[in-house]
């Protein structure tokens, strides 16, 4: 199968998975209960959720910049932010087109006369560090999870998570041997991104009046973030994990699913602003040294 056709096939499968899971979850929701949830939601906490989501994306912009500077691409913060926002729009609203990361790599390669392969590798690693950070945070948080099993299970999972993280970081450094310092800094930024998004989830939970079991919800969110690679922009997977996870832990499945949907709606809302830069050109030439 040709690369282009293969990519289109994978994208189509992801969209179908997302649509199928959304339809499944939505068909099981008690929509009268959902309306009550929305009426009683606290707008101040929800605004806090939006703010912390924005903070997570701001940190992502800085993470992207530290890798681009290594390949000789020096963007102003303004240009970097606009390019990142446009990439978010591509990722969320144009599933059949060029992905946001692929667009950024192509645009920077063309404007700065750099190797597309090299920039593409760096963009991939920068994103992959995000997945590694999710697994790392997930492993650490399991230490605080109370289960019917021995606490040594928690310790074992956390230990495996830490060791796996170290091994993966070493492999990435071996792959990008001149990026050692940046890989560690990028990983640190990735952990900060996850912390900001977990606070975002916490604010959503508070806005819907959920006052306990925060750790379970957070673990469900991190799990859904890892599984999101098999769906489009995490849609469907996140809602399904929260909905069926609620059944497993005896939570209200309607509230749980709407927590996940709220995060997706915040992502969509912020991503949509990237449409502006489909019509307004972004100046992405190298920033002049001071």
Res 190: pLDDT = 95
Q: Could you read off the pLDDT of 11-43 as tens digits, one per residue?
A: 677 777 777 777 767 676 666 766 777 777 899
Domain ranges of the chain: 40-277
Q: Which residues of 129-163 are buried (b: 16+ CB within 10 A; e: fewer)?
A: bbebbbbbbbbebbeebeeeeeeeebeebbeebee
Task: Give phi and psi for 71, each to the nearest 5.
Answer: -95, 10
**Distances, alpha carbon 79 to alpha carbons 59, 66, 76, 90, 270, in Å:** 15, 14, 5, 17, 17
pLDDT above 90: percentage of residues in the chain: 23
Query: Residue 287 carries which DSSP code?
Result: P
Say which residue, 212 or 81, is predicted with more confidence. Answer: 81
Percent of the chain residues past pLDDT 70, beyond the cut: 85
Give the tens place of pLDDT for each residue, 178-198. 678 888 999 999 999 999 999
Average pLDDT, the chain: 83
The answer to whether the predicted template modeling score (pTM) of the entire model surpasses 0.75 is: yes
Residue 189 confidence (pLDDT): 95
- Greater confidence (135 vs 236) lies with 135
Check whether 290 has a pLDDT greater than 50.
no
What are 41-79's pLDDT values in tens digits? 899 999 999 999 999 999 999 999 888 888 888 888 898
């Amino acid at each position: 199968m040709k690369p282009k056709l293969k990519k289109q096939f994978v994208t189509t499968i992801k969209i179908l998975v997302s649509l199928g899971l959304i339809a499944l979850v939505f068909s099981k929701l008690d929509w009268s209960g959902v309306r009550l949830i929305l009426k009683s939601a606290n707008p101040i906490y929800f605004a806090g959720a939006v703010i912390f989501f924005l903070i997570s994306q701001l940190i992502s912009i800085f993470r992207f910049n530290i890798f681009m500077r290594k390949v000789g691409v020096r963007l102003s913060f303004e240009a970097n932010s606009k390019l990142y926002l446009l990439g978010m729009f591509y990722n969320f609203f144009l599933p059949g087109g060029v992905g946001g990361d692929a667009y950024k790599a192509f645009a920077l390669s063309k404007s700065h006369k750099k190797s597309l392969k090299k920039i593409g590798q760096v963009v991939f690693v920068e994103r992959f560090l995000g997945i590694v950070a999710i697994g790392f945070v997930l492993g650490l948080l399991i230490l605080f999870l109370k289960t019917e099993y021995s606490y040594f299970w928690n310790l074992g999972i956390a230990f495996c998570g830490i060791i796996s993280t170290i091994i993966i970081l070493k492999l990435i450094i071996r792959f990008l041997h001149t990026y050692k310092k940046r890989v560690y800094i990028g990983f640190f930024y990735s952990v900060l991104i996850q912390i900001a998004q977990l606070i975002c989830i916490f604010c959503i939970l508070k806005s819907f009046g959920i006052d306990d079991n925060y750790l379970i919800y957070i673990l469900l969110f991190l799990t859904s973030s890892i599984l999101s690679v098999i769906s489009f922009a995490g849609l469907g997977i996140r809602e399904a994990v929260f909905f069926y996870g609620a059944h497993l832990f005896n939570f209200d499945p309607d509230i749980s699913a709407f927590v996940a949907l709220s995060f997706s709606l915040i992502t969509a809302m912020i991503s949509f602003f990237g449409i502006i830069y489909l019509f307004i050109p972004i100046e992405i030439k190298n920033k002049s040294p001071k």
